[in-house]
A and B are shown apart, each in its own frame.
Chain A
Amino acid sequence: MKIGVVQFPGSNCDQDCLRALTDGLEFEADYLWHKETSVVAYDGIILPGGFSYGDYLRCGAIARFSPIMRAVVAAARDGMPILGICNGFQILCEVGLLPGALIRNQSLLFVCQPVWIRVETSEAPCTRMLKRGHKLRLPVAHGEGAYIADEKTLSGLETNDQVVFRYVDSNGDPTPAGNPNGSLCNIAGICNRQRNVVGMMPHPDRAWEARLGSEDGLLLLRSMFRSALVATA
């Protein structure tokens, strides 16, 4: 099994993702350059965080047109597990693999801090090995992480059990105090209808060792690629 970590120009969590997979989990993983046009050699894909193409226009707005994304979209339709973290989540929304959009944080400021998120469904590839209600500690670091969608999309996400994570406070409740960026319904991560594509703002790639303050990222990454493959096999 081999995971591809896409490198866009301006990606800056590519190395962290690769290390989390190889050092944290002993997966086989490799970089995938944005000019590549095929992902057939891979069993799963991570779109890492960063500022793809500088993100001077709108986060992810240019990355969606890169050659690799055509291949990623095709692979997604075929059921390959695909995880977008932070900028990767933004790109997945831009390219239409996930509904909704991520806009400027409510505070208008970049926010870097640890947050609590709660698993809302274990019917997503990254949570299949976890129970609903499980609380995880992960860092966020973004300027544009407020999830928005229209009413219809939001109710669709809820009805179809596509909300994977919600920001919660230290008591485990999805309150405004637990919400770092003003996301609607405290949404921190979602999946597609097909349930193989996940986007999330918090960084499992920065929480895979006790010395980093949390190892909760490992639970997600392991589940994302191991159980997803088992499930689709």
Chain B
Amino acid sequence: MTGAISPDLIHSHGLTDEEYLRIKSILGRDPNITELGVFSVMWSEHCSYKNTKIELRKFPTTGPSILVRAGEENAGVIDIGDGWAIAFKMESHNHPSAVEPFQGAATGVGGIIRDIFTMGARPVFLLNSLRFGPIKGNSAVARQNRRLFRGVVAGIAHYGNCIGVPTIGGEVAFDESYNGNPLVNVFCLGVLRHDQIARGAAAGVGNPVFYVGSETGRDGLAGASFASRDLSDESKKDRPAVQVGDPFKGKLLLEACLELLASGAVAGIQDMGAAGLTCSTCETASRGGTGVEIDLAHIPKREPGMTPYEVLLSESQERMLIIVRRGEENRVKEIFEKWDLPYAEAGRVTADGMMRVLDHGKIEVEIPAKELAEEAPIYQREAVTPPPADWLRFDQIAEAGARESLLRLLSDPTVASKNWIYRQYDHTVRAGTVVPPGSDAAVFFVREAGKFLAATCDCNSAYCKLDPREGAKIAVAEAARNLICSGAIPLAVTDNLNFGNPYRPENFWQLRESVEGLAEACRRFNTPVVGGNVSLYNESPTGSVDPTPTVGMVGLIEKERWITRQGFQQEDDLIWLVGGLGDEMGGSLYLRSIHGLKIGIPPRLHYDKALAVHQFLIEAIRSGWVQSAHDCSDGGLAVALAESCISGEVKIGARISIGAHGGRTDELLFNESQSRILFSSRPDSKAELRLLADRHKIDLIELGQVGGHKLEVTVGERVIGWDVDQLFDSWYFSIERSIA
């Protein structure tokens, strides 16, 4: 091995001089170029969390139903009763999607699905949380945003539809801060029995190590390092770092792996995602407290002449590393031949704790696995608190007409119906989608287990920009509220932290505030974090993205009749608002969309109120009084009312009457005060609802009645009316019109 590693070579691998010294001391010598590459990907932010680990430890990760904790394996596992469990996780593919939106998004879906079946779970549904720059208008930027938007949606559809896992919900928002740097966060949930949990550990010295799945090619070289840099005009050159997905191979691999796992032949299993073969070998060895030795001569390759460096750092998709119980090798042969997939016995588990890679018998890499996988340097980055957001002088902002404003808010792509998107996703395959995309939370019937699960993704990044701590808390609260509205009790959270370059102190401050906010709220809502992902360096030439700590939350609905949707159901039902009329305008969509202002202090979250409102609604639902429920979020009460009229199976009007109100009408209709839910009930449950609200000491306001073909809001003496068809038209076709 040569010691000819120049400082330039070290830096071009994204390693610091200090880190290089550490590598030398671990090895007791200079690394060769292949080893340098191996360290560079394992010690990238993407694999090592070196800049965020200290923060991530703040999350609550335990609870009575947690079977596998965050960080222990590829995804956390949660008990859902009767011997059944779920594994779920969210992951980002922001950088690849910025450079090559279709493949970037597609391989994001493939990767998260592999993470889930690696746990032994059958993937049953997908969600996604997406952010793009504005797509309306004719500017070059808007055109680029539309190209990214179309490409990402098509990529998600391509992979998810083909592999046969339904995409049943999520969220999509648009804001200038994502110009040229979209966020693509994908979520997958799988189901398994407790005794089916698979481990990513190289257990059993002497056990053979198998490589299964697609051949290794030169695509996706060192993608993990690419994802740990700022995006720039130069990023186009990184296109070779974007992998190409093959959902058909993904489907075969999924079925073959589940079949092999069911056969009992597997001692350990790990997908090859970021940092490919490198990461899967050293992580399984590290988890198993063992070593792994493989010979690259056995690895199926797509083309001749690949160097060990390329084979180890390739991020070719649809590959897995499987540690097989000795004597069961024939099972692998049998099953992988049945599914026509490449497989190879590539090495074995050793006792010496080393990740040893040979190339035709010649040692190419020899690194202590644990040090490589788990002992990357950890940094406490500098955080600087910026001056707080300016107080909003709402009295100096002209009041826009309520009639016109509501129509404009409904057609703002962030609020508008996402049907153009979700009609491209197969959301009915697996015959379990009970509440399809378009309600507060999607509801899925997990047939195997006989359980109803509700799931949602949420984050208001404008709030996070103005106050990252409060914004993050609200992301958790909104997710919980969405689940409650569907009739579910929240179980657990997966998060995806999307931030800018952590070396900028103000970015790191945002990250730390957000993590602390998420952690606090997860404790209060009793939803431990079971896993997630960090994506830093979300920068475009115009600056960092708004801090976006996306929350994916899953809940359980115990009885089918408790499943609740957001659309009004029936004429003459009563309409209620629980949680008060509110008055907070800071960071609101009204200010952003109508006045072009992202200013003010975002609404405050009060836990006691939130928990009381949630408890009230869940009890009301369980008592059978609730016909529909919809949370108040972007655009406040007015948008919630309009959506309740137009997003159900049938379009139906409502007559709302709010007594004389001292303040401004725009404030009344569009404020975004937290912990408010709009719901409808049968007329005869009025007295019971009042009693229940009194018991929980919360504000319950009777707003009016469902019926007619108009949404009519009376404030004092003033009547504002909208034809339901007009509301529907503004809302339903807006995105399609923007991109046509």
Q: Which residues of A contact B (CB under 8 A)?
A: 9-10, 12-13, 15-16, 19-20, 49-51, 53-56, 109-113, 139, 141, 143, 203, 205-206, 208-209, 211-213
Contact = CB atoms under 8 A, between A and B. Distances in A.
B424 A19 contact: no
29 contacts: A9-B251, A9-B252, A10-B162, A10-B251, A10-B252, A12-B163, A12-B164, A13-B164, A13-B429, A16-B431, A20-B431, A51-B161, A51-B248, A51-B251, A53-B248, A54-B162, A109-B423, A109-B424, A110-B423, A110-B424, A110-B425, A110-B426, A205-B431, A206-B428, A206-B431, A211-B560, A212-B431, A212-B433, A212-B434
Interface of B: 157, 161-164, 246-249, 251-252, 339-340, 422-434, 436, 445, 447, 560
Contacts of A203: 428
A54 B246 contact: yes
Contact of B164 (A50, A55, A205): A50
A109 B526 CA distance: 41
Given A112-B422, A112-B425, A141-B426, A9 B431 contact: no
A29 to B, nearest CB: 15
Contact of A110 (B157, B249, B430, B447): B157
Contacts of B339: 9
Contacts of B436: 213
Nearest to A13: B429
A111 B423 CA distance: 5
Nearest to A138: B428
Contact of A16 (B246, B249, B340, B429): B429
A141 B251 contact: no
A111 B427 CA distance: 10
Nearest to B255: A9
Please classify the interface of chain A as helix (H, G, I), strand (E, B), loop, or mixed, using the class held by over half of its residues.
mixed
Contacts of A13: 164, 429
A105 B11 CA distance: 50
Given A110-B423, A112-B425, A141-B428, 12 more contacts: A9-B251, A9-B339, A19-B447, A54-B246, A54-B249, A55-B162, A109-B424, A112-B161, A112-B428, A203-B428, A206-B429, A206-B431
Contacts of A139: 428
Of B251, B422, B426, B427, chain A has the most CB atoms within 10 Å of the CB of: B426
Contacts of A49: 429
A54 B248 contact: yes
B431 A112 contact: no
Given A10-B251, A54-B162, A211-B445, A19 B422 contact: no
B154 to A, nearest CB: 8
Contacts of B422: 112
B430 A111 contact: no
- List 8 tightest A-B contacts by C-beta distance, closest first: A12-B164, A54-B248, A16-B431, A141-B426, A51-B162, A139-B428, A206-B431, A110-B424
A109 B161 CA distance: 12
A12 B431 contact: no
A211 B434 contact: yes
Contact of B424 (A50, A111, A206, A213): A111
A112 B560 contact: no
A113 B431 contact: no
Contacts of B251: 9-10, 12, 51
Contacts of B252: 9-10
B344 to A, nearest CB: 20
